Structure 1
Amino acid sequence: MTSPVPGSLLLAEPPMPDPNFKRTVILICEHTMEGSFGLVLNRPANVKLSEVATIDLPFDATLWHGGPVQPDTLHYLHPYGDTVPGAMPVLNDVYWGGEFDAISDGIASGRLDADRIRFFVGYSGWGSGQLDAEAEDGSWIVMEGTPGVAFAEEDDDLWRQILREMGGEYALLSTFPDDPRMN
C-alpha cells in the first residue's frame, strides 16, 4: 500500500527530521481532497483525563498525544460503533469520535468500558495533497491497519515491533539507532 486511506497506518521513516513524528505510528481516520486527519498511537501523554478536563467526568482515563495540531482538543477511538451516535468507522471494530455524552454516559452506566476507549489530545493533520506527497516522498511507510494495533499498549516499541513483523528491509529499519550520530 503506497497511498494512505482511512484505516491506514503511517510509520515514520528513520530518520524523521520532525521530532513530533519521530518513530510514530499514526492511524489515519480521515483522508479526503481537503486534507487528512490521524492519531499517533504510540505516544502516551503520562497524564490522566481528570487532570485536564474542564468538566466533572464519571470516569478517568490515560491520555495519549494524538499529534501536534490543536493540543487542546480531545479525540477518541473505540469499538462501540452504533452505540455512539456520530462515530465514524475507521477499521473493523474501530471507530473515531462521536457524541462525547454518549461515551461519558455509557461508561457511567457500565454499558461501555473505559479501558476499551483510547483518548487523545491533539491530532496529526495534513493539508490538501500534503500527506500523499509525503508518502510518495518516502517520509512514511503506509500499511493496512488492524484493530489490534489501534489499541496496542506497546507505546514506544510499537514502531519497532511493526517494522520487525513486516520483515525484510523493514525489519532492518527497526534496528536504526535513535540518533545515527551516536552509532
Structure 2
Amino acid sequence: MKKVILSSYRALIKHAHAFDASVAHRAMLCSSPIHNYDHLKREWTSYDSSQEWDESRKSVDAFIRVLNDSKEWYHPSHRKETLRSFIRNRFRNSPFSTQNLNFAFAAVKVLHHSQSAASSLVDRSPTPTHPIWDPSDFSVLETIPLHGTNETSNHFVVAHPLLPGIFRHSIVLILKHDSSSALGVIINKPLTNSEGAVTPLWSIVPDQHTLFTKFLSNHAVMLGGPVGAESSDMMSLLILHNCGDVAGASCVSEGPHGKVFLNGELDSMVECLEKGICEKDNFICFLGFSSWGEGQLSGEVERGSWFSVAHSANRKQDLVRHFSQTHHDTCAAPYSNAWCDLLQTLGEEFGDLTKLRSLQSKPHDDS
C-alpha cells in the first residue's frame, strides 16, 4: 500500500513540476463549471457538470478550483501557490490514507492527459509582437466597471486562450456595461469569406450612401460580434472614429490625445471628410456587435473566460491610432497577433499564455 502511494506521489510531483515550469501548461488545468447563464431568466444558475463523477475525480476538480482561486480557468494574477507545494501539503497531513490514494490515481490521470494535450498544443515558434500597444497604458482589473451608454469607457475584455468560438483570441472594447446588460465590439477581427479573404465594405453596403461609395468602400469590415453579423442591414453596421465634429456621434472613450466616437449622422461624416477635418483612415466599420445579459459579462470575468483590462485615461497614444493600426495589421496578418501583443503588455505570465494561441485555431472555426 505504501509503495503504491509513494509511486503515485512521485508521479504527481513529476507532473506538477512540468505544470509549474510552464504557464501555458498550467492554463490547461481548468475545473468544471458550477454556474451557467440562463438567457431566459437573465441570471446565473447553479450547474454541476460533475454529477456523474466519482468522489476521487470530484476531489481533483475541487483541487483545480482551489489552485485557480475559485475560477474555472487559470488567471496569472491569482496564482497562490505551486502545484508541488499544494500536493506536498495534502500528503503531509495523511500520507497513506485511502482517500489520498484515490485522489492520487485520479490526479495523475488528469494531469497526464492535460500535459499531453498542452504539449501538443503549445506553439513553440516566436510569439509575434507589434509595437502598437504601450505597456504603461494598460492595467488588469478584477471586474468590469459599470457605466451607461452616455458615459465614456476605457475598458476592454481580452479572451482567455481557452475561450472558443467567435470570441477566440478577441479584444473587445466595452461600449456599455450597466446593471441590465453589456455591449461591445471586437476590435481585432476582420470579417472574412469562406476562402479567408477580407471582406471590403462595398460588398456589405453597396450603393447605399456617399460615405461608403466614395470614401470607405475599400475599408475592411471588422467583425464586431455575433449579434447582427449575418445581416447586411445598415442597422447592424457600427462606425468608430475620432472626429468630434460629426453630428450625433456618441463619445465612448477619451484621453489626453483625443476622444473615440461611435456612429453619428452619415451626411455629417461626409462633410467632415470633404472639408479635410478628418481622414478616411480614422473610420473603422464593424458589422455586428457583442452583447451580454444582466450580470453575464461580470460572471464570465469572474469564472475566468475574460481578462478585464483598463486602458489608462492618461495613455500616451491615441486610442483610435491603436485601433487603426490593429485594423490594418489584422487585415495583413492573423488576428491573434494583436491579441498576443496586448497580453504581452500585461506581464510575463500573460505573455506566456499566448503560447496557446494555436489552440482551436483552425480557420473559420467561429461557430
> What amino acid sits opposite 1:80 in the alignment?
C
Displacement after TM superposition at 1:109 (Å): 4.0
Determine the structure 2 residue equivalent to 1:67.
225
Bigger RCO (CA 8 Å, 6+ sep): 1
Report matched runs for 1:32-43 at 5 Å. Answer: 32-43=178-189
Deviation, 1:163, is 0.9
Residue in structure 2 matched with residue 131 of structure 1 by the alignment:
297
- Against the structure 1 CA distance between its residues 97 and 56, is the aligned structure 2 distance closer, same or farther, given a 3 Å change threshold? closer
2:260 aligned partner, one-letter code: V
**How big is the shift at 1:102?**
1.6
Indicate the residue corresponding to 1:150 in structure 2.
Answer: 323
Q: Distance in 2 between matches of 1:135 and 1:3?
A: 7
Give yes or no for contact 1:59–1:108 (8 Å, CA) kept in 2. Answer: no
More helix by share: 2
Letter aligned with residue 70 of structure 1: G
Q: What displacement does 1:40 show?
A: 0.6
Q: Which is greater in Rg?
A: 2
* Counterpart position of 1:47: 199
Per-residue CA deviations over 1:12-60 (Å, capped at 9, x if unaligned) read 001103x100000111111122211111111112122222215142312
Identity %: 27
- How far has the Cα of 1:99 moved from its partner? 2.1
Gaps of 5+ in 1: none
Task: Return closer, same or farther for 1:101/1:32 CA change in 2, 3 Å cut-off.
Answer: farther
Counterpart for residue 25 of structure 1 = 171
2:239 to 50, 54, 76: 76
Q: Is the 8 A contact 1:78 1:116 kept in 2?
A: yes
Larger mean CA deviation between 31-40 and 49-58 belongs to 49-58
CA contact (8 A) 1:94 1:150 kept: no
Number of the residue aligned with 1:13: 160
Provide the residue aligned with 1:112 in structure 2.
Answer: 278
Greater strand proportion: 1
Q: Identify if the C-alpha distance between structure 1 residues 109 and 50 changes in structure 2 by more than 3 Å, giving closer, same or farther.
A: farther
Any unmatched runs of 5+ in structure 2? 1-140, 146-152, 192-197, 361-367
Is the contact between residue 281 and residue 324 of structure 2 (CA under 8 Å) also seen in structure 1?
no
The residue aligned with 1:85 is 247
How far apart in 2 are the matches of 1:39 and 1:52?
18
Q: Normalised by the size of structure 2, how large is the TM-score?
A: 0.46
> What whole-Å deviation, never above 9, does each CA across 1:92-127 have from its counterpart, x for those lacking one?
221222222222332244332111111110011111
8 Å contact from structure 1 (residues 9, 27) kept in 2: yes
State the distance in 1 between where 2:209 and 2:243 align: 23
Letter in 2 for 1:65: L
Quick one: distance in 1 between partners of 2:275 and 2:200? 21
Q: Note if contact 2:243-2:261 (Cα within 8 Å) is conserved in structure 1.
A: yes
Distance 1:63 1:105 in 2: 22
User: Residue 32 and residue 99 in structure 1: after superposition, are their counterparts in 2 closer, same or farther (change >3 A)?
Assistant: farther
